């Protein structure tokens, strides 16, 4: 036995009252399951889109329930006196239910267009009914001209036209508003079109065959069922997406909480260890100082040279611990500004640090006007200048130049430190302010430091609500500019 006769027999069965009952029962089950899924999600999220979907699919479920009831009364009792009247009422309700479903699916577009759903529905229902009435009048005229059974089929004609108008209008609406985001829009649009195939075939059968063509009647059966399956798929995919997003959000929240706790423990550890290291380092520095000065007895030259190295390394270790503590306080938002007015020229004209540049055979140009009064945290600005200047000296070869400049504007002022050093590759510039980042490879670099200076600078600048920028070209130099808003002391 081939498949074609089997399918033909099955669809012929669907054309009977018993087949219609089976279809209505299956569709009722599908709509009820989908409605339950949407209601379950709505009880958790209370989203307005889900509310519209619940109303729409509840209407479809009620329609199929009524249809199943009418058909069951015919199949099991044999009473068909009021069947066609009730069946017509059921078909009219189906049109309204389809109208609700279509509006529920395009609700995300209405939100993006800032259109109220109720107002949109109130404006479209009379329009669609009007179009349906006009088209029905035209089709009735065609039937009458060809001598068709106008009296017998006017109700079915109107219902079919109304279904076609509603479904194709909303399919066209999705196409016309394709620039707006609507998940699974292709599936929704095709579901509308496929659902409209059945009333199209039935209308064709009415107009040209007085609804007597059995093959057309059989061909019309599967399309609503296919469309309902597509609606079910779209709803399932939407709810599955939301469930996945919620799951990912929970995982992200758990990871964030874990990372936050680890960061807190790290900060506490760094702060505690740094404070504990301060005491022995202070003692080491004190006693190496006493030894170098001969306060504890004569020290031969070789031992004095060794003590000088220990003393310098102690200073370097002390600076490193200070940097770590400063950065830890900045990151924990425990650092506070102590604003005051001061002359920026006096702050940058520091003989100690300028002398350090001279020692490295690097010349310094200060282009900061005298009396350049700013309001900022003086100690923190000193730290900014020292870190930027040390960084410039470190990466500027002998014979190079470092230029320190400042400019006052209406609502802000800026400080720049520019060198003629080795520069930084373009792709490395965004990483310069990351903790422990070194532009040079750690295996090949010749300069000291662990990469905290610029991180501290950035933290202090942000504390002042300022901005920092870097311009650099490999083997030509680097310019770091900091722009500060004009702050007040109050």
Segment 76-105 mean pLDDT: 74
Q: Using 50, 70 and 90 to split pLDDT, how confident is the model at 82?
A: low
* pLDDT tens figures, 31-63: 888 888 888 888 877 788 888 888 888 888 888
Residue indicated by tokens 């010749």: 446
Q: Residues 344-363: what's their mean pLDDT? A: 83
Domains of the chain in start order, with CATH, are: 3-252 (1.20.1070), 339-485 (3.30.565.10)
Q: Which residues of 69-105 are buried (b: 16+ CB within 10 A; e: fewer)?
A: ebbebbeeeeeeeeeeebbeebbebbbebbbbbbbbb
pLDDT of residue 441: 44
Residue pair 288/306 in contact (Cβ under 8 Å)? The answer is no
pTM: 0.51
Answer yes or no: is pLDDT of 308 > 70.
Answer: yes
pLDDT at residue 287 in the model: 79
Nearest to 383 by CA among 333, 319, 429: 319
Percent of the chain with pLDDT over 70: 81
């Amino acid at each position: 036995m081939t498949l074609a006769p089997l399918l033909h027999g099955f669809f012929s069965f669907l054309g009977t009252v018993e087949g219609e009952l089976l279809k209505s029962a299956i569709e009722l089950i599908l709509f009820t399951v989908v409605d339950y899924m949407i209601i379950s999600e709505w009880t958790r999220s209370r989203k307005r889109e889900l509310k519209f979907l619940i109303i729409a699919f509840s209407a479809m479920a009620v329609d199929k329930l009524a249809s199943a009831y009418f058909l069951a009364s015919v199949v099991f009792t044999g009473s068909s006196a009021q069947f066609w009247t009730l069946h017509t009422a059921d078909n009219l309700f189906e049109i309204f239910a389809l109208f609700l479903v279509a509006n529920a699916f395009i609700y995300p577009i209405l939100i993006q267009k800032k259109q109220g759903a109720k107002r949109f529905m109130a404006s479209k229902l009379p329009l669609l009914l009007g179009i349906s009435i006009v088209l029905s009048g035209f089709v009735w005229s065609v039937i009458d001209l060809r001598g068709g059974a106008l009296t017998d089929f006017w109700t079915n004609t109107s219902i079919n036209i109304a279904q076609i108008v509603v479904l194709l209008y909303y399919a066209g609406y999705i196409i016309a508003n394709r620039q707006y985001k609507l998940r699974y829009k292709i599936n929704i649009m095709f579901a509308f079109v496929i659902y409209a195939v059945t009333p199209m075939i039935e209308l064709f059968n009415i107009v040209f065959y007085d609804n007597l063509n059995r093959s057309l009647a059989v061909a019309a059966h599967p399309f609503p069922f296919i469309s309902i399956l597509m609606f079910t798929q779209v709803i399932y995919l939407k709810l599955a997406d939301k469930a996945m997003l919620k799951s990912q959000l929970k995982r992200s929240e758990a990871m964030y909480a874990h990372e936050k706790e680890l960061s807190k423990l790290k900060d506490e550890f760094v702060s505690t260890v740094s404070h504990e290291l301060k005491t022995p380092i202070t003692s080491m520095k004190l006693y190496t100082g006493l030894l170098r000065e001969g306060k504890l007895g004569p020290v031969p030259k070789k031992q004095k040279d060794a003590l000088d190295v220990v003393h310098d390394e102690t200073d370097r270790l002390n600076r490193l611990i200070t940097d770590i503590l400063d950065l830890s306080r900045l990151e924990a938002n425990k650092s506070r500004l102590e604003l005051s007015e001061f002359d920026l020229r006096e702050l940058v004209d520091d003989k100690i640090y300028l002398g350090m540049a001279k020692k490295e055979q690097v010349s310094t140009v200060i282009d900061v006007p005298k009396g350049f009064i700013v309001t900022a945290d003086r100690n923190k600005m000193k730290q900014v200048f020292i870190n930027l200047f040390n960084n410039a000296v470190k990466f500027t070869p002998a014979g190079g130049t470092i230029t320190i400049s400042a400019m006052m504007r209406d609502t802000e002022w800026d400080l720049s430190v520019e060198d003629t050093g080795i520069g930084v590759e373009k792709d490395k510039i965004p990483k310069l302010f990351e903790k422990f980042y070194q532009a040079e490879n750690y295996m090949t670099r010749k300069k000291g430091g662990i990469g905290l200076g610029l991180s501290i600078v950035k933290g202090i600048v942000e504390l002042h609500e300022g901005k920092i920028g870097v311009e650099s070209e490999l083997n030509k130099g680097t310019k770091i500019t900091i722009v500060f808003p004009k702050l007040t002391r109050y």
